[in-house]
Amino acid sequence: MNKLNLFAVSLCAGFAFGCSPKVSTAKGIICDATMNTLTIVSEEGDTLSFSTLDAKRVVADGILLDDTVTVYYEGKYNTGMSAQKIVVVPGKKEMVGGDRDKHGCIGSAGYQWCEVQQDCIRIFEKGIRLKAIDGDQSAFIVFSPDSSKVELFFSSGDKNEILDRRTLPAGGYAWNVEDDDTKNVRLVDGKWTISQRGKTIFLQEK
């Protein structure tokens, strides 16, 4: 072992905390909770699930839907990974509705306005989630009641896009904006995709 490797080993031995996996946090609204699993919608709009079997719990009145929670975990996020600690902040009934937007949607409960449905929705309930091909971003597609339009929601905070349904020459449909360098929504091999300039940028996970 060379001197550089010996130095690295000694450094980790002397400063163990510096070589430990990074502790990350995810904050969001609880949308599902079982005995040992917690699912939240993060502030970025992603749906995340954690195992709480061995997690330290800081909870006042139990874990309830629509409560705000901060989840602490080590390393890179993976679906169903173990949480180290969860801190739950109960919703206050007297505060419900205090953060309604101009459409009457309650943001703290996970609702936002959907133009194509003309309603306040939770995108993780009404939308179809797609993951970015490059990176960790997500997108949700929400159809109008007659499927003539689709609205795109992005976890990055980018402005929503509304696309119109068009019939393809070979059959089937695509949703896009005519004569515009826009995103294109299609169902390919049973999975929803979002492409741009002929390149798939978001793909539905099964």
Using CA atoms, how far residue 116 sits from 62, 100, 149, 163, 178, in Å, is: 36, 19, 7, 10, 18
Provide the pLDDT for residue 11.
42
CA 179 to chain centre: 31
What is the Cα–Cα distance from 117 to 113, expressed in whole angstroms?
A: 9
How much is the pLDDT for 152?
96
Locate 53 and state its tokens.
């079997």
**CA dist., res. 163 & res. 148, Å (int):** 9
Both tokens of 110, joined, read 């996970």
Question: Are 105 and 111 within 8 A, CB to CB?
Answer: yes
Give CATH 2.40.50.320 domain extents, the chain: 25-89
pLDDT of residue 93: 43
Where does CATH 2.40.128 sit in the chain? 100-204
Nearest to 83 by CA among 49, 109, 34: 49
Beta bridge partners of 51: 37, 82
Which of the four CATH numbers 1.10.1740, 1.10.150, 2.40.128, 1.10.15 does domain 100-204 have?
2.40.128
Nearest one of 178, 172, 131 to 162, comparing CA atoms: 178
Any idea which residue has 């300039």 for tokens?
197
| 119-121 and 112-114 strand pairing | antiparallel
pLDDT score at 21: 66
Looking at the domain that runs over 25-89, which CATH code has it been given? 2.40.50.320
Tokens of 103: 């459409």
- Compute the distance between CA of residue 70 and CA of residue 89 in angstroms, rounded to an integer: 8
**191-196 vs 199-204, strand pairing mode:** antiparallel
Alpha-carbon span 193 to 125, nearest angstrom: 19
- One pLDDT digit (tens) per residue for the chain, 206 residues: 544 444 344 444 444 445 556 889 999 888 888 778 888 888 777 888 999 988 998 886 677 877 889 999 999 898 889 999 999 887 644 344 456 788 888 887 788 999 999 999 988 889 999 999 988 889 999 999 999 999 999 988 889 999 999 998 888 899 998 766 789 999 999 999 999 988 999 999 86
